[in-house]
Amino acid sequence: MIERHETVNVSTVEEQNLLTIEGNSHLFKDALFFDLEHYIYKKPICIGVFGCCYFDMKENKLEVTQYMIENKNDIKSILKLARDYFKLMYEKYNKRYIITFSGNNDFTVINYLFEKYKIDFDINEHFFHLDLQKQYEKEKREPIGLKALERKFSIFRDSELISGSNLAKTFSKIIKDSDYISRMPEDKKEKILLYNQQDVVSLFHIYVNWNSVVNSNILDETTE
């Protein structure tokens, strides 16, 4: 299994730009930004990449953790690492929220696999879920995908876009052929990991700049 920990610098957070939920604009400080790449064939088969980050207030940086599958023996190992990560974030770092974009599918996958492999952890018992796609569609009353929302926030990726179907094909080969990962070009692994990393980092940037795009009228009113 590939395990990666990265630190990502972020710009200064502006109070007036923050998304406010039930009067709380600072819940991002107590949140995880979460995204999975996975393989489903009729039922969830595996997590291909687990990606999560949180904001380090002291350092003004994002701490990103990723686990990527290398063979079928990693299926349960990634689930155990995901459970341990969530428990650590909850118990040591006092995280209480998980922020996603269209995250219900990811939760369906990981909860199904937790149950299948008898990993005793209930995400809903530990974290409140905030879905930025649902929040945007609630406020703007129009559907949107993550890449379209990124464009509205002037988020431009270093990585090329990868379709879900191509990722699924890759993970299918990985679990069916134990030597496939050794034949996979290093740049392909890097592209998959960078793609997932930028998904979770984008969630943070969208959250902390929410009002500058989604509720820009609020900013106009405060500057009058």
Return the CATH number at 22. Answer: 3.30.420.10
CB 175 within 8 A of CB 47: no
| pLDDT digits 0-9 by tens, 162-202 | 777 889 999 999 999 999 999 999 999 999 999 999 999 99
pLDDT value of residue 6: 96
If DSSP states are collapsed to H, E and C, what string results for the chain? CEEEEEEEECCCCCHHHCCCECCECCHHHHEEEEEEEEEEECEEEEEEEEEEEEEECCCCEEEEEEEECCCCCHHHHHHHHHHHHHHHHHHCCCCCEEEECCCHHHHHHHHHHHHHCCCCCCHHHHCEEEEHHHHHHHHHCCCCCHHHHHHHCCCCCCCCCCCHHHHHHHHHHHHHCCCHHHHCCHHHHHHHHHHHHHHHHHHHHHHHCHHHHCCHHHHHHHHC
Asked whether the predicted pLDDT for residue 221 surpasses 50, the reply is no
Range of the domain at 146: 2-223
| pLDDT digits 0-9 by tens, 102-138 | 999 999 999 999 999 999 999 999 999 999 999 999 9
Asked whether the predicted pLDDT for residue 218 surpasses 80, the reply is no
CB 6 within 8 A of CB 197: yes
Rounded Cα gap, residues 191 and 207, in angstroms: 24
Dig out the tokens for 59 from the structure.
């350092």
| pLDDT digits 0-9 by tens, 31-76 | 999 999 999 999 999 999 999 999 999 999 999 999 999 999 999 9
> Domain count of the chain?
1
CB 125 within 8 A of CB 158: no
Beta-carbon count within 10 A of 7 CB: 11
Give residue 141's pLDDT band: very low, low, confident or very high (50, 70, 90): very high
Asked whether the predicted pLDDT for residue 220 surpasses 60, the reply is no
Rounded Cα gap, residues 20 and 140, in angstroms: 15
